[in-house]
Structure formats: structure tokens, C-alpha cells
Amino acid sequence: MNQKILMNLYIAIEAVLANRMRSVLTALGIIFGVAAVIAMLAIGNGAQQEILEQIKLVGVNNIVIRPIVQQSEEKLGEDQDQKEKNKFSPGLNTQDIASIKNIIPGISKVSPEIILDTYLINNGIRRTAKLVGVEPSYFDIFNFSLSEGVMFNEHHLEYGEPVCIIGKSIKTKFFPTEDPIGKYIKCGNNWLKVIGMLEERAISSSSISNLGIRDYNMDVYIPLQTMLIRYKNRALVTEEMLRSANRGSAGMIIISGGDGEESNENTNTNYHQLDRLVVQVDQSDGMTPT
């Protein structure tokens, strides 16, 4: 039996040596074929992982509500006042949060959001960033976790305390060699105390462009009430806004979105108190894509 096996091996080796080129080509075909299969599986797994990460960023059971911002048309003419159609609506505001929770069944969490483009200053370093006014439910909806520090408490939320939670990139740029917890950073015209830092969220440039999201690592989060009191509250009508309405704009009150300062030349008539609401439902079966 052993001699038969040895004889078969001897014949096989002789055949391989007699047809060296054919043997080499056959071996290369097997090697490249297996490598191609392994590469395709790796690419498929990588694409699947990226899709899962994108779904995790947006959320499966999340409904995003954005207000429609009316743009005023600056056209000269006698009938300009008639063309301007003022819609007397309070817009998207904080009262909608309680209304959605009480009226719509199957709602687990509702997160308001106000976004302000501003600048950060610390130790002589100045960078632009997004200041985001949120409630603690925001971090639960988007699966954000703290790597250091604490979350906003009831006192922060009720009284609009000047505290913030920063993203990982903010820590890297402004506190590269020190612990940011307990330190102060200037956001716009206010100094905010850093009480927490989020874990780094890996976001690719393709996800930012395809999903319409931003780099959360460069965000500074503050309590919603802090944003409304210390920065921007479009629901308030100020004397400057009334004077601006009397000077022109066909009686429209022009509201800007910048750091509590209104611009007379801004034609963006955004009167909505909130920039968006993110509603998380218990079951995604009843959701219809739009």
C-alpha cells in the first residue's frame, strides 16, 4: 500500500517536472483565484461595516423634523407689499417638544437642536466651530458616550448655566497637553466651563457629504436653555428687530442667526426657535421614508 502511494507521488512529481510551464501557470491561476475571492470578501465586509457605521450615525428609528425657512424676495415694484405673504405662525419652538410627546403615540425620545456657527478661543488659539444647544436625550438618540466628565444636570438645563461638553477634536486643538475638564473656553461672547468630553466618533468625508451630517468631533454642546438665554432665541422680538422692520423689508421682521446680534441686511426670515427636532420612535415598522 505504501509502495503504491509512493509510486503515485513519484509519477506526479515527474509529470510536474516534465510540464513545468503548465504547472507554474496552473499554480498561479489557483493563487490569483483564491486571492481574488479573499479580496472580494474583504471589500464586501468593509462596505458592510461602513454602511452600519453610517446607519449608526443617523439612527434607524429617528425622524428628523426641519422647519421651512421663508426667503424674502427683494424685488422693486408697487405691489411688493402684496407679494410678501407673511405667515403668522410661531414656527418650530420648544412647545412642540411636549406636544409631540403627548399627541403622537410610540415616541420614545424627542431631541431639540439649535446650531450656531461661532468661534472658539483658548490660550491664543482661535478656530471656527459649531455651538449646539441640546438636551440630554440628544446623546441617547445618537449613541454618544462620555469619555470624561459628566452630563448636563437639571440645574444646568433649568437655569441655562454656562457649561459645555466638547468633542474629541476640540480637546485635541485647544487642550492638547492638559485635561479639559473644569477648564474654560470662550465660545462667541461667553466663557463656558467644560464639564464633559465625548468619545471620538469616526466619520468619513463620504459620510459627511452623502448623509448631510457634520463632524461631531468639532462640536461644542451646551444646554438648550443656555443657548436660548445667552446666545440666540429667534422667538424673542427685540427693539432692534422692530426698528429694522420699520426701516424696510416690507414690514417683515428680519431675524439673523448670529450670536444674539441681528443684521439689517440679512434677508433670511428665519423665525423658528429651533433648527430641527429629532424624534425617536419605538418601532421602525410604521415609518415611511420620504
Convert the pLDDT of each residue in 186-226 to its tens digit: 999 999 999 999 998 877 666 666 666 778 888 999 999 99
Provide the mean pLDDT of the chain: 79
Q: Are 113 and 132 in contact (CB under 8 A)?
A: yes
290 within domain boundaries: no
Grid cell locating 276 = 430641527
Question: Residues 127, 41: one domain?
Answer: no
Reduce the DSSP state of residue 10 to 3 states and report it: helix
Residue 136 has pLDDT above 70, yes or no: yes
Residue 132 has pLDDT above 50, yes or no: yes
Going by pLDDT thresholds of 50, 70 and 90, the confidence category of residue 256 is very low
Cell 451646551 found at? 222
Question: Residues 219, 260: one domain?
Answer: yes
Phi, psi of 125 (to 5 degrees): -100, 130
Question: Could you give the residue ranges of the DSSP H alpha helices within 59-153?
Answer: 80-83, 95-103, 137-141
Which domain does 15 fall in, by range? 2-54
Give the residue from 258, 255, 263 showing the smallest Cα distance to 235.
Answer: 255
Reduce the DSSP state of residue 143 to 3 states and report it: coil
Going by pLDDT thresholds of 50, 70 and 90, the confidence category of residue 257 is very low
Question: Residues 40, 67: one domain?
Answer: no
The DSSP output letter for 140 is H
Question: Residues 172, 35: one domain?
Answer: no
Determine the pLDDT at residue 76.
43
**Cβ neighbours for 192, distance < 8 A, ≥ 6 positions apart:** 162, 163, 164, 184, 185, 186, 220, 222
Residue 169 has pLDDT above 70, yes or no: yes
| CA 237 to centroid of chain Cα atoms | 29
Determine the pLDDT at residue 82.
45
Question: Residues 48, 76: one domain?
Answer: no
Reduce the DSSP state of residue 119 to 3 states and report it: strand
Question: Residues 230, 112: one domain?
Answer: yes
Question: Residues 28, 79: one domain?
Answer: no
Question: Residues 27, 161: one domain?
Answer: no
Determine the pLDDT at residue 262.
41
Work out how many domains the chain is built from and give that number.
2
Residue 278 has pLDDT above 60, yes or no: yes
Q: Are 149 and 181 in contact (CB under 8 A)?
A: yes
Question: Residues 195, 269: one domain?
Answer: yes
The pTM is what? 0.68
Determine the pLDDT at residue 62.
81
135 within domain boundaries: yes
User: How far is Cα 216 from Cα 203, in angstroms, rounded to an integer?
Assistant: 8
| Angstrom distances, CA of residue 39 to CA of 46, 50, 204 | 10, 16, 22
288 within domain boundaries: no
Residue 234 has pLDDT above 60, yes or no: yes
| CA 98 to centroid of chain Cα atoms | 23
The most confident of the ranges 54-68, 223-237, 271-285 is: 223-237
Determine the pLDDT at residue 11.
82
Q: Are 163 and 226 in contact (CB under 8 A)?
A: yes
Grid cell locating 232 = 440666540
Determine the pLDDT at residue 219.
92
Question: Residues 128, 263: one domain?
Answer: yes
255 within domain boundaries: yes
- Average pLDDT of span 48-73: 71
Question: Residues 38, 89: one domain?
Answer: no
The number of residues making up the chain comes to 290
